[in-house]
């Protein structure tokens, strides 16, 4: 079974909260990685996406950075997830 997509978030970030809620409603499993106070996770996210804004998602090697639900929906549709 492939590893879960990774969602990098910052607690208290409204876009992060919306995305987490949306994925939960759609029953789309992701691994949540909190970057606040976690230098390793933050560096992983920066290395992956070239920026430090959350949420950022690593969908099996494809990166969606600094997004909201409006950007997430077409990203998931293109990957036949929705």
Percent of the chain with pLDDT over 70: 99
Distance of CA 12 to the CA centre of its chain: 15
pLDDT band at residue 1 using 50, 70 and 90 as cut-offs: low
Q: CA–CA separation, 5 vs 10, rounded Å?
A: 17
pLDDT in tens, 39-73: 999 999 999 999 999 999 999 999 999 999 999 99
Return mean pLDDT, the chain.
Answer: 96
Q: CA–CA separation, 76 vs 67, rounded Å?
A: 12
Helix (H) or strand (E) holding 56: strand 56-59
Q: The domain 6-78 is classified under which CATH number: 3.20.20.70, 3.40.30.10, 1.10.3720.10, 3.40.1160.10?
A: 3.40.30.10
Check: pTM over 0.85? Answer yes or no.
yes
Residue 2 confidence (pLDDT): 74
* Residues composing the chain: 82
Q: CA–CA separation, 65 vs 41, rounded Å?
A: 14
**Nearest Cα residue to 45 out of 27, 63, 29:** 63
Residue 32 confidence (pLDDT): 98
């Amino acid at each position: 079974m492939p590893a879960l997509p990774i969602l990098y978030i910052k607690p208290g970030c409204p876009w992060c909260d919306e995305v987490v809620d949306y994925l939960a409603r759609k029953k789309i499993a992701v691994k949540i990685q909190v970057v606040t106070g976690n230098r390793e996770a933050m560096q992983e996210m920066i290395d992956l996406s070239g920026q430090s804004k959350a949420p950022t998602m690593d969908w099996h090697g494809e990166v969606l950075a600094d997004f909201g639900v409006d950007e997430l929906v077409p990203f998931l549709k293109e990957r036949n997830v929705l």
